[in-house]
Amino acid sequence: MHKKIERLSLQVSKLKKSELKLKQTRHLLQKKTHALTERVKELNCFYKISYLVEEYGMSIEKILQGIVNLIPPAWQYPDVTCARIILEDRI
């Protein structure tokens, strides 16, 4: 009976360690996923800016305004982010 209790105690200990490791791994995965999501937002912004710049016949004012509109959503906290471009004392 004593051996059986020791084995069960050892198994419980192993399960607790496994559970802790699983929680740590999940937390790390969530952090990495969040970081990658932020990088995707940034890359999408760069892609859209390059598309905007390549658009034929668009004025510089429209291009710059488009860039200003694209930047805030690409940041981590877009709700509290704004962008402004000043070119030759014009906003």
pLDDT tens profile 68-90:
999 999 999 999 999 999 988 77
Higher-pLDDT residue of 21 and 1 is 21
| pTM (predicted TM-score) | 0.73
- Radius of gyration over every alpha carbon of the chain, rounded to an integer in angstroms: 26
> What are 90's strand-pairing partners?
87
Give the separation between CA 19 and CA 68, rounded to whole angstroms: 46
Q: Tens of pLDDT along 59-68?
A: 999 999 999 9
* Residue among 71, 51, 53 at smallest CA distance from 62: 53
Residues 27-56: tens digit of each pLDDT: 999 999 999 999 999 999 999 999 999 988
Q: What is the pLDDT of residue 91?
A: 61
Compute the distance between CA of residue 41 and CA of residue 90 in angstroms, rounded to an integer: 28
